[in-house]
Amino acid sequence: MIPVQIQALIPTNAGTAVFLGNEEKVFTIYIDQTIGSALSIYLSGAEKERPLTHDLLSNVLTALGGKVERVVINDFKNGVYFGRLIISAENELHQHKIMEIDARSSDCMAMAALQKAPIYVSHVVWDEVEDMRPLLERLQNPEKEETSSE
């Protein structure tokens, strides 16, 4: 598994582009605008008037003695990224249990941001994705692009 962090969230006409990566490579996952907004709130720590759906799931996990240990973006098929939530829980008898749950990659990232859990990418996905760092740098520094083209 390769550890990655969310590098940037960029709004698009169809939703949000999430740039994930590390010092070696950055790649993009496109997600629904609503989850993109929630992810932005979780990353910034902004206050919410009412709990969002991911807050509900997080609160239920906490009430049951569980937490998200990590998330894994584990597959990429037909333009769709697949994710897994790795949850640990301890019950009233102090029995520890680890659960792996299939989830959308966008929900995985939102839960990771909310619960401050690490994000990993499988080698299968990592080896297949294109490095999008040049695009991210252009989007984050448009004036640099104008200067270099003059």
What pLDDT, on the 0 to 100 scale, is given for residue 144?
63
Which residue range(s) make up the domain with 111? 2-149
Pairing assessment for the beta strands 80-90 and 66-77 based on DSSP bridges: antiparallel
CATH number at 56 reads 3.10.690.10
Residues 87, 68: Cα–Cα separation, whole Å: 4
Residue 91 pLDDT grade (very low, low, confident, very high; cuts 50, 70, 90): confident
Residue 139's closest CA among 1, 41, 16, 2?
Answer: 16
| CB count in 10 Å sphere of residue 131 | 12
Residues 95, 84: Cα–Cα separation, whole Å: 22
Query: How many independent structural domains does the chain possess?
Result: 1
Condensed to tens digits (0 to 9), the pLDDT of residues 26-78 reads: 999 999 999 999 999 999 989 888 989 999 999 999 988 899 999 999 999 98
Residue 82's closest CA among 36, 122, 32, 131?
Answer: 122
What pLDDT, on the 0 to 100 scale, is given for residue 96?
87
pTM (two decimals): 0.87
